[in-house]
């Protein structure tokens, strides 16, 4: 199913209702929460890296700058994994809907 960038929707001449804005923000935050729970920092989130399908479901894409993080026992980030370590998005749960 074809997707389009969120940026295209923002730049279009259509108007957003407050409920539309709340829905988009909620779904983006849910996606970020999921990514963060996988110990991944996206580092390049922008409208061009958010896809919408024909049902306006949001998918976050372009993990080229993303990095794994290491956490301590208090669940705080203690250090970034070295830059040369890339994210293998195939290890993320493909069946999770955020």
Contact 66, 39 (CB under 8 A): no
Number of domains in the chain: 1
pTM above 0.75, yes or no: no
Residue 46 lies in a domain: yes
Judged against a pLDDT cut of 50, whether residue 98 lies above it is answered with no
pLDDT at position 80 = 61
User: Is 24:10 a contact under the CB 8 Å cutoff?
Assistant: no
Query: Which residues participate in catalysis according to the annotation?
Result: 44
What would the pLDDT profile of 47-68 be if each residue is shown by its tens digit?
999 998 888 789 999 988 888 8
CATH code assigned at 68: 1.10.510.10
In whole angstroms, give the CA distance from residue 7 to residue 46: 8
**98 is a domain residue:** no
Residue 27 lies in a domain: yes
Per-residue confidence (pLDDT) for residue 3, from 0 to 100: 73
- Compute CA distances 14 → 10, 20, 34, 61, whole Å: 8, 11, 29, 24
Range of the domain at 8: 4-87
Question: Is 18 part of a structural domain of the chain?
Answer: yes
Q: Does residue 17 lie in a domain region?
A: yes
């Amino acid at each position: 199913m074809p997707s389009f960038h969120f940026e295209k929707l923002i730049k279009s001449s259509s108007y957003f209702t407050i409920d539309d804005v709340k829905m988009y923000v909620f779904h983006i935050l849910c996606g970020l929460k999921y990514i963060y729970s996988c110990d991944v920092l996206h580092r390049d989130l922008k409208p061009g890296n958010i896809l919408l399908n024909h049902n306006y479901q949001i998918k976050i894409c372009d993990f080229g700058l993303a990095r794994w993080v290491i956490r301590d026992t208090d669940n705080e980030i203690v250090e970034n994994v070295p830059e040369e370590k890339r994210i293998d998005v195939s290890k993320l749960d493909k069946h999770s809907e955020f």
